[in-house]
């Protein structure tokens, strides 16, 4: 996990523009480099490093003797760099996994490069010989990337929007900063002036398609075309274990958030198999006696991890709101609520432990239909469509939350549920196999691990609890605590006139108004970064919390 930043065709002094690069310093606390591009005095790269692999040669932009005309700045992990080396005979000069991007590009161009990478990534690749700039981002946008491109060809690229919003440019008062779309690459021509022109934006991978790099995977071909339940369950186990195993690539200590219980159980099993000689640190956050803390204790006791509980009170949570919204760069209601707990637990991990690479369960609810409102889906086909929509928008919601809250404290996130091969297989299964059954969401996933003894049965089959709710007591939800506080902060008259002040995504509640106010303070006029609020479907919901849904109430009252 790092922070990348680059400018092409800057009219302003680079030493002034460089100050913007410091806005993402939290993403790379170990080292910083600012480098001009030879022959292009108005082009430069900035890089903040979190050293997880190759402590010696891991600085960026990466340049190697074999390709002196290529410059690479990337944030991510490429899990199949060794398999690709073996397959194509690449001669690496460093131990950095991202070096494979240079070799793939030299061998087959940008389309093959992006399609062959098994991992999470956002990168800027400059080819000074062919005068091209390439941008690319992984399928689910696990690693963030933003860009600004003005009419006269000034390009700025950064891991977070906050590194671009204050850039100076002669022809534009407020250039449009926007997220770079996941699963896409862009080709831009680099002019002698250092300015650029966009040539094409290409979608290189759709989450339903089996990725090209499957051909070089360490897992042999699985039985395909058969939807026999036992075969399906076996394939799910094999592919999920493989997703966790490949993510063990790290020279820094590995930890795990215990909201991803299955992730932690599989992770610990695999760490023992490869003789990692330190105990797995697991983390859970909540208020005193919250459901998440109690469940996490049971999991930690069962798997034998070194468990840390982070207990916070409502005052600490409320005090963190502004810092959280600044980190997130969004005002989405459920994202802000859920981020507060994750932000505070990440802060604890950074200050009190030596774990740096943090596994988590993001993506499982979207992929395996874990949200409670899936019980209300009119048909299996519509549930499958909704699952795909949620996965497509992850970069705006849960993946955004998970990246920014951990990156704010210099941690690197690993999310095995969003493994390309695992997700494409799960989405290839018949729609009726993937729906909730017997009142239980994520039914197929739970069923697949039922006989593994990885988790206690009551934890494996525990009903869904939203992260922003599970951290509070059953008696009073976290969202109720927030609303009670905010009710005193926002006047009724302000809310009545909210649509006039904020015509795009107008706040409908005092809580959403409060978050929007803070967002606009830091990012004025940038409300379009959030196309719409996250809300459950098929139910008449006025609040995104699961605890407001009838199904949740009946489940907790039984």
Percent of the chain with pLDDT over 70: 93
Q: What separation in angstroms does the CA of 226 have from each of 238, 239, 421?
A: 15, 16, 17
Check the annotation: does 257 bind a ligand.
yes
Pick the range with the lowest mean pLDDT from 183-187, 347-351, 453-457, 539-543. Answer: 539-543
Kindly state the average pLDDT of the residues 149-165: 95
Q: Lowest-confidence range among 2-11, 444-453, 515-524, 542-551? A: 542-551
- Phi/psi region, residue 538 (left: phi>0; alpha: psi -120 to 50; beta: rest), is left
pLDDT computed for residue 541 by the predictor: 74
Is the dihedral angle over the CA atoms 95, 97, 102, 103 positive or is it negative?
A: positive
- What pLDDT score was predicted for residue 219? 83
Residue with token string 């700025």: 156
Which residue reads 């021509």 in tokens? Answer: 189
Q: Is the pLDDT of residue 269 over 90?
A: yes
Predicted confidence band of residue 556 (pLDDT cuts 50, 70, 90): very low
More confident residue, 270 or 25: 270
Q: What are phi and psi of 502, to 5 degrees?
A: -125, 75
pLDDT number for residue 132: 97
Q: pLDDT at residue 41 above 50?
A: yes
The pLDDT assigned to 161 comes to: 97
What pLDDT is attached to residue 337?
93
Contact 45/10 with Cβ under 8 angstroms? Answer: no
pLDDT digits (tens, 9 = 90+) for 198-251: 999 999 999 899 899 988 887 877 876 678 999 999 999 999 999 999 999 988
| CB 23, CB 159: distance < 8 Å | no
The CA distances from residue 197 to 86, 111, 132, 192, in Å, are: 36, 19, 10, 12
| Cα–Cα distance for residue pair 261/465, rounded to 1 Å | 13
Q: How many CA atoms lie within 13 A of 216 on its CB side?
A: 16
291: left (phi over 0), alpha (psi -120 to 50) or beta: alpha
State the Cα–Cα distance between residues 8 and 376, nearest whole angstrom: 49
For residue 277, count CB atoms less than 10 angstroms from its CB and return exposed for 0-12, middle for 13-18, buried for 19 or more.
exposed
The burial class, CB within 10 Å (0-12 / 13-18 / 19+), for 488 is exposed
Q: At residue 519, does pLDDT exceed 90? A: yes
Q: pLDDT class for 127, splitting at 50, 70, 90?
A: very high
Confirm whether residue 285 is marked as ligand binding: yes
How far is 477 from 484, CA to CA, in rounded Å? 11
What is the distance between the alpha carbons of residues 205 and 207, in angstroms, rounded to a whole number? 6
φ/ψ (deg, to 5) at 341:
-65, -45
Q: Is the pTM of this model over 0.85?
A: yes
Q: Which of 7-28 are b and which e, b meaning 16 or more Cβ less than 10 Å from the residue's Cβ?
A: bbbbeeebeebeebbebbebbb
- Residue 222 annotated as binding? no
Q: Which residue has the higher pLDDT, 295 or 159?
A: 159
Bridge pairing between strands 132-137 and 119-127: antiparallel
Annotated binding residue 435: no
Q: Are 43 and 37 in contact (CB under 8 A)?
A: yes
pLDDT tens digits for 252-268?
899 999 976 899 999 99
pLDDT of 319 above 70: yes
H/E element, 428: helix 420-428
* Rounded average pLDDT over 449-462: 89
CA–centroid distance for 113 within its chain:
21
Which residues are the active-site residues? 2
39 is in an annotated binding site: no
Residue with structure tokens 């689910």? 140
542 pLDDT exceeds 80?
no
Residue from 554, 557, 535, 542 nearest 373 by CA: 535
Q: Quick check: 474 pLDDT over 70?
A: no
How does the average pLDDT of the chain come out, rounded?
Answer: 91
pLDDT at 475 over 80: no
Percentage of the chain modeled with pLDDT above 90: 73
Q: What is the pLDDT of residues 354-395, one digit of tens each?
A: 999 999 999 999 999 999 999 999 999 999 999 999 999 999
Identify any residues that bridge with 73 across adjacent strands, giving them in sequence order. 124
- Neighbour order of strands in the sheet with 119-127: 62-64, 67-78, 119-127, 132-137, 184-190, 196-203
Overall average pLDDT of the 516-543 stretch: 93
Which of 161, 108, 115 shows the shortest CA–CA distance to 138? Answer: 115
Q: How far apart are alpha carbons 105 and 98 in whole angstroms?
A: 12
Tell me the three-class secondary structure of 278-313, residue by residue. CCCEEEEEECCCCHHHHHHHHHHHHHCCEEEEEECC
Task: List the one residue out of 160, 183, 251 whose CA is nearest residue 388.
Answer: 183
**57 within 8 A of 94, measured Cβ to Cβ:** yes
Q: Nearest to residue 176, comparing CAs of 145, 150, 155?
A: 150
Residue 325's pLDDT band (cuts 50, 70, 90): very high
């Amino acid at each position: 996990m790092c922070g990348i930043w680059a400018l092409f065709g800057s009219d302003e002094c680079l030493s002034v523009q460089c100050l913007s690069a410091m806005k993402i310093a939290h993403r790379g606390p170990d080292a910083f480099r600012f480098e001009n591009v030879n022959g292009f005095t108005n082009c430069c790269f900035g890089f903040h490093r979190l050293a997880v692999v190759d402590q010696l040669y891991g600085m960026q932009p990466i340049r190697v003797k074999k390709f002196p005309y290529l410059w690479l700045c990337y944030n991510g992990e490429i899990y199949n760099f060794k398999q690709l080396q073996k397959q194509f005979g690449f001669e690496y000069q460093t131990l950095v996994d991202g070096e494979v991007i240079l070799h793939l590009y030299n061998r087959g161009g940008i389309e093959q490069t992006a399609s062959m990478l098994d991992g999470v990534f956002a990168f800027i690749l400059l080819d000074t010989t062919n005068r091209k700039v390439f941008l690319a981002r992984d399928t689910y946008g696990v690693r963030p990337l933003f860009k600004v491109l003005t009419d006269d060809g000034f390009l700025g690229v950064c891991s977070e929007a906050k590194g671009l919003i204050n850039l100076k440019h002669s022809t534009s008062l407020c250039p449009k900063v926007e997220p770079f779309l996941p699963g896409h690459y862009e080709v831009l021509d680099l002019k002698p002036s250092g300015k650029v022109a966009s040539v094409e934006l290409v979608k290189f991978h759709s989450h339903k398609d089996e990725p090209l790099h499957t051909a070089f995977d360490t897992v042999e071909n699985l039985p395909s075309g058969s939807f026999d339940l036992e075969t399906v369950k076996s394939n799910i186990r094999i592919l999920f274990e493989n997703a966790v195993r490949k993510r063990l690539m790290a020279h820094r200590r590995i930890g795990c958030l215990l909201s991803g219980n299955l992730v932690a159980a599989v992770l610990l099993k695999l760490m023992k198999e490869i003789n990692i000689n330190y105990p797995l640190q697991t983390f859970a956050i909540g208020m005193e006696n919250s459901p998440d803390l109690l469940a996490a204790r049971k999991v930690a006791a069962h798997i034998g991890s070194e468990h840390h509980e982070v207990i916070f009170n409502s005052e600490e949570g409320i005090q963190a709101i502004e810092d959280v919204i600044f980190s997130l760069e969004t005002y989405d209601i459920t994202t802000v609520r859920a981020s507060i707990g994750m932000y505070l637990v990440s802060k604890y991990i950074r200050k009190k432990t030596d774990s740096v690479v943090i596994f988590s369960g993001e993506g499982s609810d979207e992929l395996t239909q874990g949200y409670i409102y899936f019980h209300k889906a009119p048909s299996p086909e519509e549930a499958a469509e909704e699952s795909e929509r949620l996965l497509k928008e992850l970069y705006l919601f849960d993946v955004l939350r998970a990246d920014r809250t951990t990156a704010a404290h210099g941690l690197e996130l690993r999310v095995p549920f969003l493994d390309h091969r695992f997700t494409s297989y799960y989405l290839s299964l018949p729609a009726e196999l993937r729906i909730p059954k017997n009142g239980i969401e994520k039914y197929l996933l739970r069923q697949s691990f039922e006989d593994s003894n990885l988790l206690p049965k009551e934890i494996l089959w525990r009903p869904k609890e939203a992260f922003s709710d599970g951290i509070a007591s059953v008696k009073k939800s976290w969202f109720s605590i927030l609303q009670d506080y905010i009710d005193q902060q926002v006047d009724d008259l302000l809310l009545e006139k909210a649509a006039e002040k904020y015509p795009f995504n107008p706040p409908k509640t005092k809580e959403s108004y409060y978050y929007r106010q803070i967002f606009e303070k830091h990012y004025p006029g940038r409300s379009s970064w959030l196309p719409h609020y996250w809300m459950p479907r098929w139910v008449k919901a006025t609040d995104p919390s699961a605890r407001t849904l009838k199904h949740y109430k009946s489940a907790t009252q039984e």
